A and B are shown apart, each in its own frame.
Chain A
Amino acid sequence: MPPSSVSAVTPWWRNRRLIPGIVQAAVGLVVLVVVAFLVGNLVRNLTAAGLLLSWSWLGNPAGFDVSETLLPFDASLPYWRALLAGLVNTLRVVLLGLVGATLFGTAVGMASFSSNGLLKRLARIYVELIRNIPLLLQLVFWYFVVFLALPNGTSAIQLPGLVLAKSGLYLAWFSDLWHLQWQGPHLDGGVWHAPLRLTVEFGALLTGLVVYTAAFIAEVVRGGVASVPKGQWEAANSLGFNPLQTLQRIVLPQALRVIVPGLNSQYISLAKNSSLAVACGYADLYSVAETTLNQTGRAVEVVLVLLGSYLVIDLVISALMNGLNRMVQLKER
């Protein structure tokens, strides 16, 4: 049979361009119908219950207090200010957590290449121990077992310009920058006061997040460095580079191509994991939103605010990391 007549009688169900198109259109339609059904039902039932999405409650006075805030807040301010205060608290712990976890994780990851046997073992034990225990348990441990076991009042740990008590870490700071006058922590009525203060709730959450995420980052760093062929180390060595130079100029530029994409997902995890703050009493976005939900009964709206906030935080982290990724990738010219 000549080839031209074969193509002329090819039935439509063997058409390699038509069939995938039809399948995709059908799947797309099913997804659309399901989504439309869910949204339609939600709207219909919320309307029936008189609970159709409304945002006017955001302007009502919150009526509850938030324990530690960077922005000034009191109970007479509206709900959106409370949620904003919670968001700022979340961002604060996420930012510090990212920095801490990166530094600590990189150090641990590099330690696993150390020629010092003890250091190498410790790094491995740390990673295996921390990776295999749920974060929630670790947070509860840090808060209730470690931080709340600190002494209080006059028996607190006191160093010049620094006091570590059950209620938090108190630091000296300049009360008058011009005249270089500084104020140290002082005890007043059984309660410590100082210009700079970090609460134990914040401390426990930050410690928990840093220790947990650093274990994963250490593995990412270890994998990245291990991906650089041994010959590169040897070549650098034979050219007279010292170990630090080798790392800085030869190994890291190549390892970062492997490390950065892995870091991205760890950073995103850290941001999401910060919502476990409720376990140790830190007033993060989730904690404030939960109180708001209970006071207003606006479950759908509050959950939407939460979803949106964490989504934006994670997308921003992702975008920044993708930018960094482009910088460290091999430039083809």
Chain B
Amino acid sequence: MPLLRRLAASLPLMVSLALVGCASDGGGGIQSQKLATIKARGKLICGVDGKLPGFSFVGSDGQYTGLDADVCKATAAALFGDPSKVDYRDLNSSERFAALASGEVDLLSRNTTETLSRDAAGGNGLSFAPTTFYDGQGVMTPNASGVKALKDLAGKPICVESGTTTELNLADRMRELKAAYTPLKFQTGDQTYAAYLQGRCVAVTSDRSQLAAKRTSFPDPAGHTLLPEVLSKEPLTPATTNADPAWADAVRWTIYALMQAEELGITQANIDAKLAEAKANPNQADLRRFLGVEGEFGKQLGLPADFVVKAVKATGNYGEIFERNVGMGSKLKLERGSNRQWKEGGLIYSPPFR
């Protein structure tokens, strides 16, 4: 029930600001309180959408799957060596930041666009990890509507989820086109797409990946088309809060590890062989450091030395995660596009593990 969930999400924020917040006065130094809390709890609490096929979706077996869910699993594996040690919290787009700020979730992996105001300490005060999916905002219409371009939507109602960047981008683009329109805002994706399918809106707007994902669960997926226009840049990025830089680093480098693993050709299948190779050959210093055979990268992050091995073993490298959940082998059938490795002309780029 959205109202209860919203209450549950915002109440801890207010209460914790008032009561628990004083606890953060102590500590300091390199020691991360968040990491200590998570380790003591023995589970990672991960905020996800939960209703978006390909990103985070509860299957018929009750298990979460998807690209966003895999980020949670990889992080849990890096922490505990076990990808199942995750408690998922389904959050809607309005309650996600309050849930993160209040500490109700440790990590927000919920197709969230990285923006200045969300990152800035004077705004939402988030700390963004590496972008896991480079997306753009699109508009979907029923084929029967006859809408061929954005300007055809002048004077027509458009469904949009409230509290998203898509809401602002839509306002900006339509203002540029000098096209009046009626935004119909709903609190959850379910309501938004229900109203669209009922024919209340001539179009629905969201990230192109999300539109493609939702379309797979429509009664008639072939009856709906994405307009050619891309309204905005939408780098979908996991996030933690500004409050704990050490925890943010641990998440950041776990995700970089998945990207670096793809670049080095390390996969879920060959990770054990690569590890054995690194252990046997002292000359492969890069590989040995990356897999934690030597050096102390893990220790510097507050993670086990072999966190890279555990993460890749749990979910595979970034490319495998992409293909399995949203790529051509999945129901969504999305191209790698901008999400290719930098060596292939994409934007996926891990800084060196040194």
Contacts and interface: CB of A to CB of B under 8 A. Distances in A.
Interface stretch (A38-46, A90-98, A119-127): A38-46
A294 B91 CA distance: 14
B253 to A, nearest CB: 25
B17 interface: yes
B186 A41 contact: no
B329 interface: no
A50 B17 contact: no
A266 interface: no
B186 A281 contact: yes
A136 interface: yes
Given A65-B183, A152-B199, A191-B156, A296 B123 contact: yes
Nearest to A298: B123
Interface of A: 38, 41-42, 44-46, 48-51, 63-68, 74-76, 136, 144, 148-149, 152, 166-167, 189, 191, 200-201, 276, 278-279, 281, 283, 287, 290-291, 293-297, 299-300, 303
Interface of B: 1-3, 10, 13-14, 17-19, 21-22, 24, 93-94, 97-98, 101, 117-118, 121-125, 155-157, 162-164, 167-168, 170-172, 174-175, 181-187, 191, 194-195, 198-200, 243
Contacts of B125: 49, 51, 297
B198 A297 contact: no
A42 B185 contact: no
Contacts of B162: 278, 287, 290-291, 294
B2 A279 contact: yes
Given A278-B2, A281-B185, 7 more contacts: A41-B21, A49-B243, A63-B168, A136-B3, A191-B155, A291-B185, A294-B164
Contacts of A303: 10, 14
Contacts of A283: 185
A63 B163 CA distance: 12
9 contacts: A44-B21, A46-B17, A64-B168, A65-B183, A75-B171, A136-B3, A279-B187, A294-B163, A300-B14
Majority SS at the chain A contact face? helix
Contacts of B3: 136, 276
Contact of A291 (B124, B167, B194): B167
Nearest to A54: B122
Contacts of A67: 157, 182-185
Given A64-B167, A136-B1, A191-B156, A278 B187 contact: yes
Task: List the 10 closest pairs (A to B, CB-CB), nearest first.
Answer: A294-B163, A45-B21, A148-B198, A297-B124, A75-B171, A297-B123, A38-B18, A278-B187, A65-B183, A281-B184
Contacts of B123: 296-297
Nearest to B200: A148
A276 B95 CA distance: 16
Contacts of A152: 199
Given A64-B167, A148-B199, A41 B2 contact: no
A294 B170 CA distance: 16
A281 to B, nearest CB: 5
Nearest to A144: B194
Nearest to A49: B125
A37 to B, nearest CB: 8
Contacts of B2: 278-279
B17 A45 contact: yes
